[in-house]
Amino acid sequence: MEITFNQLARLVSFIDKIETETYPEAPSFIHSEITGKVLEIILPQYHKDQATRILDIGCGQGPALDIFRDKGYLSTVGIALNNEDVHVCCEKGHDVRKMDQSFLEFPDSSFDFVWARHVIEHSIFPYFTLTGFARVLAPGGTLYLEVPAPETSCHHETNPNHYSVLGRGAWMSLLNRSGFTVRDDVRFGFTTPMGPDEYWGFICAKS
């Protein structure tokens, strides 16, 4: 199938529209707490070496990058699509670039650990996006992917910036198809003012 110039232009226009709808991601208690808990598990178990090359996809205003720096990791890069998030992170001294998660501008096998927490639901084509995560991850490297569960009291599927809020089986299948083996998974359940909510985390190895 050949893609015409007009078809490609429509796709680019749609992606440009989505970029204008992004919002700053200031740290919140629940996200910072879960980030800290997960990294306390993953880093000692999979990436003790402080020379580990780390990519934080959709880094927001840097809660995970702050932890990596505090723990002495020397090679970390973040990406974000919102200008304010990029600015805040750079002001804090982090190496953060404005970049779309679906079009990673890094060579193959650039990283040993890809941290992708609450970003893939913002992709209009998560299968394509995940294959990009696999491409930049070195063989044997680790991906941590975390997503909101659909149809909880918070109804993440109705968020205007959420385009792919899928079931656990769908995420497991997409991860496998994209070149990952799921080593472990975890559920985070908690209560919000709207009622019970849940996030799913997947610790993956590049197959």
Cα-based angle 146, 148, 152 (whole degrees, multiple of 5) = 155
How far is residue 194 from each of residues 153, 156, 158, 163, 173, measured CA to CA in Å? 6, 12, 14, 21, 30
Q: What is the pLDDT of residue 13?
A: 96
Q: 10 in a domain, yes or no?
A: no
Q: Are 135 and 110 in contact (CB under 8 A)?
A: no
How far is residue 137 from each of residues 43, 131, 143, measured CA to CA in Å? 16, 10, 8
Q: In angstroms, rounded to a whole number, what is the distance separating the alpha carbons of residues 120 and 102?
A: 9
Q: What is the pLDDT of residue 2?
A: 80
**Between 175 and 5, whose confidence is greater?**
175
> What b/e string do you get for 169-184 counting C-beta neighbours within 10 Å, with b at 16 or more?
eebbebbeebbbeeee
pLDDT digits (tens, 9 = 90+) for 145-162: 999 999 999 999 999 999
pLDDT digits (tens, 9 = 90+) for 120-145: 999 999 999 999 999 999 999 999 99
Q: What is the mean pLDDT of the chain?
A: 96
Q: 2 in a domain, yes or no?
A: no
For 74-101, what is the mean pLDDT?
Answer: 97
Q: 41 in a domain, yes or no?
A: yes
> Domain range spanning residue 158?
29-206
| pTM recorded for the entire structure | 0.96
Q: How confident is the model at residue 207 (pLDDT cuts 50, 70, 90)?
A: confident
pLDDT digits (tens, 9 = 90+) for 22-37: 999 998 999 999 999 9
Q: How confident is the model at residue 12 (pLDDT cuts 50, 70, 90)?
A: very high
Q: 24 in a domain, yes or no?
A: no
The CATH number of the domain where 166 resides is what? 3.40.50.150
Q: 108 in a domain, yes or no?
A: yes
Q: How confident is the model at residue 82 (pLDDT cuts 50, 70, 90)?
A: very high
Q: 11 in a domain, yes or no?
A: no
How far is residue 143 from each of residues 9, 64, 175, 183, measured CA to CA in Å? 32, 14, 10, 10
User: Is residue 1 predicted with pLDDT exceeding 90?
Assistant: no
User: Is residue 109 predicted with pLDDT exceeding 80?
Assistant: yes
Question: How many separate domains does the chain show?
Answer: 1
Q: Would you give the DSSP letter of residue 146?
A: E
Q: What is the pLDDT of residue 3?
A: 83
